[in-house]
Structure 1
Amino acid sequence: MSLKAAKEALLRKRYTEAIAILLEYCQDSPDPGTKEYIQAQMWLVSAYQRTGRADKAIAICEQLQENPDPQLQQWSRKSLVTLRAALEEAPDSGIKSNPDVASVVKSKPNRYRKGNVTLALATKFRLYYILAAFVTIMLVVGIIFGIHLWLIGLVSLVFTTGWLIAATISTIVLGTILFFMSPWIVEIAQKQYHRTQWVTLADLDEIAPEAVTVIEKFCELQNIDIPRLGLIEDRNPVAFIYGILPNSARIVVSRGLLQILDDDEIAAVYAYQLGRIRNLSFAIVTFATAPAQLIYLLHVWLSRLSFRARRAKNALRLIATIANGIYNFGNYIVLLATRTSSYLCDRTAAELTGNPNAMTRALTKIARGLVQQTQLGQPTSRLLESTRALGTCDYKTAIPIGMAFEILYAGQSEHNLYKVFLWELFNPWANWLEWHSTHALIGRRIKQLTSYVKQLGLTSEYDFPLILSEGRSLDRPKLHRNFRRDLLIQTAPYTGLSLGLGLSFTLFWLYNNWLPLSLSIVGLGLGIMFQGSLRYPSYRKVADTDLVGLLVDPYASTLCGQPVQIPGELLGYGRHDLQLGYTLKLEDQSGSIYLNYLPNLKTLYADPGQIIQQMEILAGESVLATGWFRRGEISAIDLSTLKPILENPKSKAKTLVSYHQLWNNVLSSAIVFLGLMVLAASSLF
């Protein structure tokens, strides 16, 4: 028997089978000191606990306490406290009823007895979507019209009525052409990144028969043709739709999505895409993202060319980076439409399947699959990047949820990992994060799906009513107080610039016309310096915690780092996307997290081989990471120090020191010095 089979049994909650596999593995293991043997023992503790045999789990933990590894000793102590408390707790023989569950005839506990139900959704969601769709269309048309005005300005100094009429007519013509050509543009662009295999309903029926039923019923009710179905051989869990007319829509899914979802969850994802046909958001998004797809295609082409080119590599990479930035900025045009339509599409998925819980599980499994496919030091998958607005959820904001559920499925933590939703539901920074997301945050979508569960009289997934109840007991004044503090940090450079500009206008009579520029630069530098002092607070209150404790903290900040200290194993490293440092991956007893490592200038550019050598030595070793944790799109730790836990005189491993504070101070000081130089130079003329 292998550990892989045991892990699969644990993930599927077949604990008795997992126990049998793990016991056989431990008996056959020749060396009880190996990492694999210890992992098997830890999984046995988890399996025994979940089957109600806390006594056997306690016996294993007591043996593990004798292991010399300090991390394992700490894990054993924490587990013993929980297990002994569970052993002493009196058994509850009563059967508790769920007040949210009504009597549903012939229905499973997690789904309704039939599909095509009608669910209530607040009117505001429909109004928000209608307004967002109108704004998106006007933005695209306005950009086309603005380009025409810019071109007219190049050839004529006077904007006559004739020019304006010509610009208006040309905008209408080009907008119409773009509207009908946008599916072709998206399809041509997608062919450059991957190959789409077009399949039939019969092919899909072999994989997901319920999805076929949902598609056929929807198309019959809407009196439209069956959408063209595509399959991409990619391990990233992706599903997206594009097209202009309902009769010519294309729904494409990846092999990775079909592999990680169950039949009812696949049906829910297809129903979500059908929801885009129902509210026509698929046409609006296709129309608005087509120009951005061309820009992203330019980015990909320049990136490939830079690898083959013998000259001007850096210039090509710079232009490719600029094109990627323009593409990301272009996604903001459709953010309102895609974000507001996600609530309507979730409702359609729940109505067509009669199974809102399936969509709930699909969202969390997709997030977990995204985490599993993320590779250290590798660029983001072009499939994910190019279909960000067209897909089911935003891969950028799904990572924290995916990390929590990866830990949950591994069964390596006793924390209530469902609390990871509290941050998205109640932290004010979640509003800021969602504003930059192509879709509503997963926690907020599940909250709405839970309301459909209640309407259908079903049992909700992930104890979500309890999570909502716990959220109401959070310290709201503290949440908003922390948010106001973070706003002060975020706006410090702009505040400094504004104060410098205002002071220059107050004292303009004392100097010359260069005073506003110089004092503005000085104010900007001082603002950045002040921002750094708050982003990286003192270590006098450093918290000794683990990854789970950080992920489920509803008070975690996006800007102000929380000083933390986490023991774990360094899994690997990779160069940062902007080539300004390195990204490291640390695994503790519960999961893994990324570390942002920023060396000093000398070692970063003059002697990078020394850094790589030290990281190679530390890879696979037990280390203690100290730094500042932030919860955002990617929950990560800005590293301060990384040192080996076991001091070995024969080993060449040394402590890695990161210089985030130093770089901030150097940058801010350089800006202040520049402002003073401008002020001094202006006095000579």
Structure 2
Amino acid sequence: MNTTADSERLLKAGVAAYKTGEYERAITALQPLLRNRAYRLKAGMGLVRVYMSQRNWREAQKLCEKIGQSSQPSVQQWSQDTLAKIEQRMAKASAVSPADNEAHHAAKGLSGFTPLSSVPEISIPPVSTATNSAKATGVYSKSSVASQKSVPPEDKLLEPKTAAPSIFHYAHLNNELAAEAPVSADTNPDISTEGGWHYSGRLKQGRSLGRIRTGKLWVAQLAGAVGFYFLARYLLNSAIAMLNGYLNFLSGLPLLGWIRPLPLHDATGYLLAALGVIAIASPWLWDLCLCLVGDRQSLSLNALRSCSAEAATLISQRCHQRRWPLPKLWKLSTDVPLIFSYGWLPRNARLVVSEGLLTQLEADEIAALAAYEMAQWKCLYWPILSVCSLVLHLFHQSYWQMALWGNRQGKLLNLTAGVVSTLSYGVFWLLQIPVLWLARVRTYYGDLTACELTGNPNGLIRALGKVSFGLAKAVENQGYTPALVESAAILMPVAADLSRYRLPGRYPLGQLYAWDSLNPVRDWMSLLDAHPPLGDRLALIATYAQHWKLDTELSFKAKTPSRKQRHKGLRQQDWLRLLSQGTPYFSAVIGLVIGMGLWGVGAIGDKLDWPFFAWMHKDVGLFQCCILLSIGVGIILRINRFFPDLSFEQPPSTDWTDWLSEPELLPVESVPINLSGTIFGRPGIANWLGQDLLLKTSDGLLKLHFFSAVGPISNCFRLGQRPAVPIGSSVQLLGWFRRGNRPWIDVDKIRLGNGLMLSAAHPIFSLATATIFSAWGLWLLLKSG
């Protein structure tokens, strides 16, 4: 709601409507208050009573169960008592005859209102109970203080003096919650609420945080756009060359001489034209895509205002100040919490939110994310990401829809659809690589601007954390990663936090994000991710709150490195650990340097007419063999360290959640893990490459890498088992836990419930890869000269 006065007005209107029997009006007034932290218990309890009066037992039961999820024992007790009454009345209602029903309604009168005094469980608890509850939590609510003074509690002021006991007999609990979520800067950070969030304070309005350097962003924008274009050009020309080679082969066969290759060898002009059309039409093409796959609906500013008045006001004011037209608002009918925007100018901006986001986040958190999205509309990277994400989405949808169709077909069509969908996914995965750095870098600038617009860094911290946990919960509920979550990843503000979404409450949030904020090489561990480590962002946003003298939403036990320390670069021991982690990649760089050195020596020899050296300048194979041999040697050097011995005899790894918070852990420090759980993932040919294999445990989800000796591509040729791991099976898993930006397990063995053992061969695959690179390099070396 916009103000406390508005919330009070709606609450009074709902109570008054309930007392006069106008139940629909009461529901309309009370439902918006479910999103208001200070009034949600009052509104929820009131709605339960309204639904019970309507004899809408199902809705009353569902809402009462939701209220019972509160961490406060008194609320849980109220929920249990009320649920018992609801179940009792449901049982009676099923046994009551129609005549009895008519008599019952006649006894209630035309208003449909049943006096509350006839219901024993709604009596107001004694004043001493409220006082003791306040003392136990360390929070004195308005109602408990008022009780000690002989002044009527605030909730009683909403009722006529002759009214029956309040339907909100636990109303003081709402005030306790309100005390835990103040809007000023004097919040007590030690008071923790549901989900581990403190609901720390904010500024009344935004302030500037000073000028920031944008050099890194400009470099990322240029690199992303140029890299995306040249990679797309290379893939397109390679595809044309392969197709022409195949057509030439067919034309040489009997009776097929009429086949001719395509009269096209360089598609640069066509690619530029296509990208230009996509760029101009991207807002409308995105609209069409969301209409087809996302069930998008128009969302008015007034409808948004009912969920977050601050967000609606912010959008309106920001557009008025900048002289922008109001953006189009789309709502997706899904419980997955989604928010992103696209367009190439503010005047054709689209802001997309989902039903799940509007229901799972508080009003100020929705506003913080809206500010984050609007911060991009004046930046160059926004149209770049909009265009690139649209191209990626088209390839991903080609993969996803073809896979779903192929899963319903016979053997031949299934195989054909599998090959096409796998190729489409491969193109999607490759094309996203050039823009991943840009997608990561822009998040920090968006975070800063969002804080400046709202003055609510703590709200942004909660919003990002809740969305990451909500996305992970959606993956658990669906059993696989939703297609739109992956295809629109570079537009989303945050990724799914699969391994930590069940841990808030068991661990302090600051401890959960320790690796993200303290690991010195965390940025290097995120090179293939669309988002930086979330804890790194949250720690930086927390410094904005500290700058404004606000209590921070997260408290990190260890001090995070300052900006000056981060700019100094890595220490020597950090470089050594990074070298150990990326041995094959650093070896490739060393091979490149050696190859360029030999090429330079050959150029000098050619210039000085020294034939003994001149040949190296003209032999490309020598340059290539240096790189290939270096990669092969690098992989071999890392194998033993990367794959230590394992055994099912080792005890279950019940403490794997502690490894998430170990700041110094790297993927190369392979931790043997023995876990039991359920295999999740995409169905059938949608998972040929094993791109979406997950292990669901009681503590969360973990990404799985399951490779045969020929690698993940073996599934496409039926060289391995397909599916390599049966989806939905309860299994015991043995592998190597690796801590990166997104933790994962390299699987060694999987034991099914029936005793069948599935063996992966990741070490053999790595050794085979090293052998191929080394043999290829040696062959080129022997051909050289």
Instruction: Output the TM-score relative to the length of structure 1.
Output: 0.66
**Structure 2 counterpart of 1:570:** 677
Give CA deviations for 1:109-151 in whole Å, capped at 9, x if unaligned.
8333422x22214522x33334444555556777899999999
* Corresponding residue number in structure 2 for 1:661: 763
Q: Distance in 2 between matches of 1:13 and 1:476?
A: 45
Q: Secondary structure at the match of 1:458?
A: coil
Match of 1:239 among 339, 353, 372: 339
Q: What does 1:497-646 correspond to in 2, within 5 Å? A: 527-538=634-645, 546-558=655-667, 560-566=668-674, 569-572=676-679, 574=681, 577-579=687-689, 583=693, 585-587=695-697, 590-597=699-706, 616=729, 619=731, 625-641=733-749
1:169 Cα deviation from its structure 2 partner = 11
Question: SS of the counterpart of 2:511?
Answer: helix
2:468 maps to which residue?
Answer: 367
CA distance in 1, matches of 2:315, 2:237: 45
**Shift in alpha-carbon separation, 1:7–1:666, aligned structure 2, 3 A:** farther
Three-state SS of the structure 1 residue aligned to 2:659 is helix
* Partner AA of 1:535 in structure 2: F
Kept in 2: contact 1:500–1:522 (CA 8 A): no
Corresponding residue of 2:72 = 14
Letter in 1 for 2:455: G
Which residue of the partner structure matches residue 97 of structure 2?
none
**Distance change in 2, residues 1:175/1:453 (3 Å):** same
Partner SS state of residue 311, structure 2:
helix
**Does structure 1 conserve the Cα–Cα contact (< 8 Å) formed by 2:501 and 2:700?**
no
Q: 1:501 to 1:168 in 2, by over 3 A?
A: closer
Task: Answer yes or no: is the 8 Å Cα contact 1:232–1:254 preserved in 2.
Answer: yes
User: Paired residue for 1:118, among 203, 207, 211?
Assistant: 207
2:461·2:553 contact (CA, 8 Å) conserved in 1? Answer: yes
Which residue among 495, 503, 508 is the counterpart of 1:407?
A: 503
Among 182, 204, 216, the residue aligned to 1:128: 216
How far residue 422 of structure 1 moved from its aligned partner, in angstroms, is 2.6
Give the letter for the 1:369 counterpart. Answer: G
Q: Deviations over 1:460-486 (max 9, x none)?
A: 0121475538999xx966544322211
| SS of the residue 1:374 aligns to | helix
What do the CA deviations read for 1:555-582 (whole angstroms, capped 9, x no partner)?
A: 2213x14233445x42345579345699
**Deviation digits for residues 14-71 of structure 1 (CA, Å, limit 9, x no counterpart):** 355458879999xxxxxxxxxxxxxxxxxxxxxx9x9799xxxxxxxxxxxxxxxxxx
Aligned length: 562
* Structure 2 Cα separation of the partners of residues 628 and 587 of structure 1: 16
**Structure 1 unaligned runs (5+)?**
26-47, 54-100, 154-166, 645-650
1:238 to partner: Cα distance:
1.2
Q: What residue number does 1:29 align with?
A: none
- One-letter amino acid matched to 1:385: E
Counterpart CA distance in 2 for 1:655 and 1:611 is 11
1:354 aligns with 2:455: yes
- Contact 2:633/2:774 (<8 A) preserved: yes
**2:490 aligned counterpart, secondary structure:** coil
1:200 deviates by: 0.7
Q: Distance in 2 between the 1:612 and 1:173 partners?
A: 43
CA 485–197 in structure 1, closer or farther in 2 if over 3 Å, else same? same
Instruction: Report the residue type matching 1:129 in the other structure.
Output: L
* Distance across 2 between alignment mates of 1:122 and 1:337: 20
In structure 2, C-alpha distance between the alignment counterparts of 1:477 and 1:11, rounded to whole Å = 50
SS of residue matched to 1:110: coil
Question: How big is the shift at 1:358?
Answer: 0.9
Query: What is the match of residue 94 of structure 1?
Result: none
Q: Which structure is larger by alpha-carbon Rg, 1 or 2?
A: 2
Once the two structures are superposed, residues 340-395 of structure 1 have per-residue CA deviations (whole angstroms, 9 ceiling, x without a partner) of 332232223222322111110111111111211225996532211232222222x2
Aligned residue for 1:226?
326
CA contact (8 A) 2:479 2:680 kept: no
User: Alpha-carbon deviation of 1:500?
Assistant: 11
In structure 2, the partner of 1:481 is: 576
Amino acid at match of 2:546: K
Change (3 A) 1:628 1:21: farther
Distance 1:652 1:451, change over 3 A: closer
In structure 1, distance between residues paired with 2:476 and 2:342: 28
- Tell me which moved more, 539-548 or 182-191: 539-548
Of 171-180 and 318-327, deviating more is 171-180
Deviations 1:210-242 (A, max 9, x none): 221221222222222211110001222211111
Cα RMSD of the aligned pairs, angstroms, is 5.3
Report the 3-state secondary structure (helix = DSSP H, G, I; strand = E; otherwise coil) of the residue aligned with 1:468: coil
| SS state at 2:687 partner | coil
1:271 to 359, 368, 371: 371
Identity of aligned residues (%): 21
- Within 5 A, what are the aligned runs for 1:25-36? none
**Amino acid corresponding to residue 215 of structure 2 in structure 1:** L
Where do 1:79-94 residues align within 5 Å? Answer: none
Q: Does the residue aligned with 1:637 lie in a helix, a strand or coil?
A: strand
Return the letter of the residue paired with 2:72: R
Q: Among residues 321, 335, 342, which one is paired with 2:422 in the alignment?
A: 321
Give the whole-Å Cα distance in 2 for the aligned partners of 1:241 and 1:632: 28
Q: Please give the residue correspondences for 1:24-63 in structure 2 after superposition, counting only pairs within 5 Å.
A: none
Shift of 1:250: 0.9
Letter of the 1:577 partner, please give it: N
Matching residue of 1:461: 553
Asked if the contact 1:428–1:483 (Cα under 8 Å) also holds between the matched residues in 2, the reply is no
Q: Within 5 A, what are the aligned runs for 1:402-481?
A: 402-408=498-504, 411=505, 413=506, 415-464=507-556, 468=560, 479-481=574-576
Instruction: Measure, in 1, the Cα distance between the counterparts of 2:390 and 2:526.
Output: 23
CA 384–608 in structure 1, closer or farther in 2 if over 3 Å, else same: closer
SS of the residue corresponding to residue 276 of structure 1 reads coil
Higher relative contact order (CA 8 A, sep 6+): 1
**Aligned equivalents of 2:726, 2:275: Cα separation in 1:** 55
The answer on whether the counterparts of 1:498 and 1:523 sit within 8 Å (CA) in structure 2 is no
Q: Is the 8 A contact 1:239 1:253 kept in 2?
A: yes
User: Distance in 2 between the 1:147 and 1:487 partners?
Assistant: 26
Quick check: 2:372–2:447 contact (8 Å CA) kept in 1?
yes
SS at match of 1:388: coil
- Answer yes or no: is the 8 Å Cα contact 1:228–1:251 preserved in 2: yes
CA distance in 1, matches of 2:746, 2:274: 47
Contact 1:417/1:552, CA 8 A, preserved across alignment = no
* Aligned CA distance change for structure 1 residues 633 and 189 (closer, same or farther; 3 Å): farther
> Which residue identity does 1:562 align to in structure 2?
S
1:331 equivalenced with 2:439 (yes/no) = no
AA matched with 2:743: S
Give 2:21's aligned residue. Answer: none
Task: Give the drift of 1:643.
Answer: 6.4
What is the match of residue 70 of structure 1? none
The 1:586/1:228 distance shift into structure 2, 3 A limit, reads closer
Q: Do the aligned residues in 2 keep the contact of 1:599 with 1:658 (CA within 8 Å)?
A: yes
- Residues in 2 aligned to 1:595 and 1:13: alpha-carbon distance in whole angstroms: 33
Letter in 1 for 2:581: D
State the Cα distance separating 1:308 from its structure 2 match: 5.9
- The code of the aligned residue for 1:186 comes to W
CA distance in 2, matches of 1:572, 1:148: 36
Pair 299,465 (structure 1): closer, same or farther in 2 beyond 3 Å: same
Q: How far does the alpha carbon of each residue in 1:481-515 deviate from its partner, in whole angstroms, 9 at most, with x for none?
A: 32221122554578789999999x99999xxx999
Distance 1:548 1:421 in 2: 12
